[in-house]
Every structure is written in structure tokens, then in C-alpha cells.
Structure 1
Amino acid sequence: MGPMATGSKPLRADAARNRDKLLAAATRAFGEHGLDAPLEQIARSAGVSIGTLYAHFPTRDAFVDAILPARIAAVDDLATKALAEPDPWQGFTGFLDGLFVLQAKDQGLNDALARRLPLSPAAVEACRTGFQHAARIIDRAKESGQLRADFEPSDLAPLVSAMSQLIREPPETWRRHLAFFLDGLRA
């Protein structure tokens, strides 16, 4: 069975191709320019009209909802690696470094992690899962005595938000600031 429209009928082959082209163009545009990338540019890049874009994705949030769960899945992969790291501190610092590398490469992900957005149920579930992974990474580092005992999983969001502003700088700049944060968090 082919891709589904917002109702229950499968999309026609040409409509499915247009939707796929729009998703690919939006992924590129959001990755390069953030979530405020012009929708007209996305339609042009996909080779479709703005009317076709709105027929598939009536709002910018609809694009974000279609793309964000896959982007957050990359964060879950980082968390899995961090939890497999024998040294909990290295797992924690590797997770944060990897997260910020992803954000630096994908301005849309950076925007999504730094903003409060209305999210689809799929994106909410992806974020919930990501938060649970991060909480386990933090707990492991605290239990090992390497992370400050008073650092809580809820403290991660302000750190990510602060770093999201620095991510647009050259890597040596944001890595320097990450090192400052980590020095302050080490037990």
C-alpha cells in the first residue's frame, strides 16, 4: 500500500512523489536555514507550486511534525551509544557533544530543541523517549560520582537552549563553551 493522504485514501502516485519531494526539500531547507525557512523556497526547490505545498502541508507545523520524529531518532541513537559507554562520564559528555554536533549540522533540529513548539503526537512521543534516555545517562553519571549530585534531567533543557545560540558559531567556539559547562557539572 502506498503513502496515505491525511484521510484514509492512498495518495495517487504523482501526489506521493510530490509529497516525497516536498519532504526532502523541507528537510534540506530546515537543516540549512532553520524552521523559519521560506515555504516558497521549499516549494520551488521541490519543483512544485506553493498550492501543491499547502495541499500536502497546510501549515509550517505540519512540515515540522512530518520531519521532526526522524531527526529526534538521531538523538536516540546518540543516547544508545552513551548508555553503552563503560565510563558514565564519557557517556554523558559524549552524548552532549554528539547532540550539539547534530544541532550544528541541522539548524531545524537546533531550532526545534531550543523552542517550545506545538508538536504532533509522534513528535511528543519521540521527545518523551529522548528525555527518558537522557535521564538514564544523567543518572548513570551521577551514580558514578562523576556528575554533580544536584544536576537533574530537567536541567538539561536550559543547557540545550543556551547552547543552541552558540551552535551557529564556529565549532571551536561552541566546544569551548561546552567545556566550561562540563567543568561546572563535573563532581
Structure 2
Amino acid sequence: MSTEASRMRADARQNRDRIVEVARELFAGRGLDVPMAAIARRAGVGMATLYRRFPTKESLVTEVFSDQFAECVSILDDALADPDPWHGLCTGIERICAMHAVDRGFTAAFVSAFPQSFDIDGERARADSALTELIDRAKRAGQLRADFALDDVTLVLMANSGIIAGTPEASLAASRRLVAYLLSAFRADNAHPLPPPAPLNLFDVLPKRR
């Protein structure tokens, strides 16, 4: 390979890495509604270069959040492997909320349907199944209040998504405290009668698109 060709390949790789880095930063702070033009401008590349690397916004989102998708699945697997049902449930919820607190784009990516680039329905079904098993295990162990429902996990995510802080560190600290308060209320030994669970799903976590 010629020196010129090697340089062009290196430049192309640098452009691609820069686009992904900028998109990750903008999605984390502003969600998925960031225009592709804004990403190209911040990355210092033309629109043609951006679309040559990522033909659709969905393909860029998938690249940006591929590690987070894998980590989310790993979190739930770790929680299910925990021999203590209550500890497994709590650490699973805590870690997922921590991811969400510092990255506004990730939850939006996880619940958005991108059929061409990611099997989101399969991942969501797997998450629901794992959470249902975590909940059932904690109830059978007498640790989780009997009226806790899967919809309540979405309620936790909705509350967590309302955190607005000046820095990622402050958002994470606020998330940890909020989740600690909520988990304390979920314990069976703290149970008091509650209204019926709200019929929620993961799509309710997202702001309504205009």
C-alpha cells in the first residue's frame, strides 16, 4: 500500500472516530433529536463525509451506543447471577439508572425502534424477561413488597429521567440518592398500601416527539 493510500485510510478512520465521539457527546447531553448537520459541523466534516461513514442516523446511533447496549444486557445478567435476590434487583436498577442519568441519549436509543440496525424488540423483550424474573425472585424471598409490578421499574426510570443537574457527576449523585429512596420504599418490611400500579411501558420514558 502506498504512503498516500495509508494516509487517506488513516484520515478516514480519524473522521469516523471523530464523528462517533461528537455524536456520543451530543446525544448524551441533548438526546437523539440532534440533527445530523449539527453532528457534522461539530466534528468538522462535511455532510457527504458523514453520510459516507453512516448512511442513516440509525446506523450512527447503533454505533454510538453499541457498548451501552451490551453493558445493559450484562447488568441484567449479573443481577440474575446474584445469589441474593434483593441485592441483585437493587444493583440492577441502580446501575441502569446510573447509565441513564449521565446519558440522555441511551434510554431513547434503547426504546426506539431501529429495525434496520438493531434488534430492539428482542433486546426489550429480554430486558422485560430478566426484570420480571428478578422481581419474582425477590418476592419469593420475602424481600420485595408483594404489590411491586414491572410497570414500577418504568416509573423509576421516568423519575430518574427528570433529574436535571449542571454536571454528569451531579446527575449521577442525584440519581443514586433518588434510587436509594425508592428502593427503600420497595422493601417488603416497609410496605404500606399503595394505589394500583400505573399501566406504563418503556416508551413512556421518552418525551413526546414534535
TM-score scaled by structure 2?
A: 0.67
Identify the residue that residue 121 of structure 2 maps to in structure 1: 124
Matched-pair contact (CA < 8 Å) for 2:19–2:40:
yes
SS of the counterpart of 2:126?
helix
Q: Which amino acid aligns with 1:129?
A: R
Identify the residue that residue 162 of structure 1 maps to in structure 2: 159
Mean Cα deviation higher: 177-186 or 91-100: 177-186
Q: Which amino acid aligns with 2:98?
A: V
Identify the residue that residue 72 of structure 2 maps to in structure 1: 75
Identify the residue that residue 182 of structure 1 maps to in structure 2: 183
Q: How many correspondences in the alignment?
A: 173
Looking at structure 1, the residues matched to 62 and 107 of structure 2 have their Cα atoms a distance apart, in angstroms, of 15
Decide which structure has the larger Cα Rg and report it: 2
Match of 1:105 among 102, 106, 129: 102
Identify the residue that residue 29 of structure 1 maps to in structure 2: 26
Mean Cα deviation higher: 129-138 or 44-53: 44-53
Looking at structure 2, the residues matched to 157 and 23 of structure 1 have their Cα atoms a distance apart, in angstroms, of 29
Identity %: 34
Q: 1:15 to 1:127 in 2, by over 3 A?
A: farther
Q: CA deviation at 1:89?
A: 0.8
Looking at structure 2, the residues matched to 126 and 66 of structure 1 have their Cα atoms a distance apart, in angstroms, of 16
Matched-pair contact (CA < 8 Å) for 1:69–1:126:
no
Mean Cα deviation higher: 62-71 or 152-161: 62-71
Q: Is 1:95 aligned to 2:92, yes or no?
A: yes
Mean Cα deviation higher: 42-51 or 89-98: 42-51
Mean Cα deviation higher: 78-87 or 33-42: 33-42
- Report Cα offsets for 1:52-78 as digits up to 9, x if no partner: 334554554443344445422211111
Question: For structure 2, which runs of at least 5 residues remain unmatched after alignment?
Answer: 1-8, 189-210
Looking at structure 2, the residues matched to 45 and 91 of structure 1 have their Cα atoms a distance apart, in angstroms, of 41
Looking at structure 2, the residues matched to 132 and 31 of structure 1 have their Cα atoms a distance apart, in angstroms, of 27
Matched-pair contact (CA < 8 Å) for 1:30–1:108:
yes
Q: Which amino acid aligns with 1:138?
A: I
Looking at structure 2, the residues matched to 24 and 132 of structure 1 have their Cα atoms a distance apart, in angstroms, of 32
Q: 1:155 to 1:64 in 2, by over 3 A?
A: same
Q: 1:72 to 1:161 in 2, by over 3 A?
A: farther
Matched-pair contact (CA < 8 Å) for 2:31–2:104:
yes
Looking at structure 2, the residues matched to 93 and 109 of structure 1 have their Cα atoms a distance apart, in angstroms, of 20
- Report Cα offsets for 1:149-171 as digits up to 9, x if no partner: 222223322221221112x3333
TM-score scaled by structure 1?
A: 0.74
Q: RMSD of the TM alignment (CA)?
A: 2.9
Question: For structure 1, which runs of at least 5 residues remain unmatched after alignment?
Answer: 1-12
